[in-house]
Amino acid sequence: MKKTALYSIHKELGAKMVEFAGWSMPVQYEGVRQEHLAVRRSAGLFDVSHMGEVEVRGKDAIGFCQWITTNDVSKVANLQAQYTILCNNKGGVVDDVIIYKFSDELFLICVNASNSDKDYEWIKSKSGDFDVEVLDRSPEYSQIAIQGPDSQAILSACIGADLDNIKKFRFDTFKCNGNDLIVARTGYTGEEGFEVFLPWDGAALLWNSLMETGKEYGIKPCGLAARDTLRIDMGYSLYGHEIDEDINPLQAGLGRYVKMDTDNFIGKDALSKALDEGLSQKLVGFQMIDRGISRQGYQIFKNGTFIGNVTSGTLSPSLEKSIGLSYLSSSVKNDDRIQIQIRDTLREAEVVSIPFYNKE
């Protein structure tokens, strides 16, 4: 398995390590509940160096990025990030990504760890008609995410920079301890926070500095398990669960990131057809009424009829409720009762709106 530059630090901190997308990654340190609540109440630190980075450069960079993604790249300013979708010709999701625009001729695309190699090859394969160069920069970058209401204060003090001007989905570059940092106000938790790209070998120094600076705030190192419970709170999709190459982004509730009024993009015809025909399924949230925790793959019934499977489920530390996501018929509405088969018993649940967690 591949190891991030922070592997030895995770071991020293007593993290439980697991295999994820070919990487040895920390799944938890102190415990999922403690780590989850640290992010909601103060700050949590995540090693996300397993994510991939693909660089697109050249005079056709804007046009190329517009062609391969569903959102409107033409509206992205320099030093702005944009959440978007890579679709195949059938309209299915190749991956959901964030693109970072440095200039009209330079973009960095952050891709999911499980799709890193696949995405790079797919993006490169689509570049033939454009004057661009597609480069896999993944081996060069470490990536650290600091998330939570105190994340700005901690990161700002740590790198000695004022971060007030970096608004949501914006980024800037800084120098710290001789390393070039890309600091973006992005994240996967629903909290205020930042994701920092930096040279591979600079990760340990920044991690330790953030942990030391964050002590007075109660910062905690967080693993993949807390990252998952936090994103389920928000109803965020995860590749291999809510999205894959057979699911289109409209079904997944990601239609606001699909700009049908832009120039042509890969999958546009298929998505236009899906809209014309109407969506037979949609991603919905549910919360358990009876005791039990839903998990991916559990069967869902309504009035004795099988209607779908759980795509993600957890016991939310934020809400102290068991919640889950699933694709169900578009006719299903909030407050409808459904049943989740947990072991050999049907447990009562109700359909609710997403996100489950609202800070207010």
85-97 confidence digits (pLDDT tens): 999 999 999 999 9
Beta-strand pair 171-176/305-316: unpaired
From the CB of residue 1, how many other CB atoms can be counted at a distance below 10 Å? 12
Beta-strand pair 179-184/171-176:
antiparallel
pLDDT digits (tens, 9 = 90+) for 215-246: 999 999 999 999 999 999 999 999 999 999 99
pLDDT category, 354, cuts 50, 70, 90?
very high
Proportion of the chain above pLDDT 70, given as a percent: 100
- Ordered DSSP codes for 66-126: HHHBSS-GGGPPTTEEEEEEEE-TTS-EEEEEEEEEEETTEEEEEE-GGGHHHHHHHHHHT
* pLDDT of 353 over the 90 cut: yes
- The CATH class of 1-277 is alpha beta
Using the structure block, give the residue that is written with the tokens 């998990």.
295
* pLDDT tier at 102, thresholds 50, 70, 90: very high
Cα torsion through 164, 165, 166, 167, rounded to 10 = 90
Q: What is the pTM of this model?
A: 0.96
Note the pLDDT tens digit of each residue in 252-307: 999 999 999 988 999 999 999 999 999 999 999 999 999 999 999 999 999 999 99
The amino acid occupying position 182 is: I
Cα–Cα distances in angstroms (integers) from residue 9 to residues 89, 201, 223, in the given order: 43, 13, 13
The structural domains of the chain, with segments of one domain joined by +, span 1-277, 280-352
Predicted local confidence at residue 209, as pLDDT: 97
Q: Which fold has domain 280-352?
A: Elongation Factor Tu (Ef-tu); domain 3 (2.40.30)
pLDDT for residue 360 is more than 80: no
The chain-wide mean pLDDT, for the chain, equals: 97
Strands (E), 153-298: 171-176, 179-184, 193-199, 220-222, 281-288
Judged against a pLDDT cut of 80, whether residue 332 lies above it is answered with yes
Rg (CA), the chain: 21
Tokens at 89, concatenated: 């010709």
CA distance 28 to 199: 25
**Own/partner long-range contacts of 153-156 (Cβ < 8 Å, ≥24 apart):** 153/217, 154/43, 154/210, 154/213, 154/214, 154/217, 154/219, 155/183, 155/194, 155/196, 155/210
pLDDT for the residue numbered 263: 85
**Helix ranges (DSSP H) in the chain:** 7-12, 32-41, 61-68, 116-125, 151-159, 203-213, 224-234, 268-277
Among residues 317, 315, 354, the alpha carbon closest in space to that of 332 is found at: 354
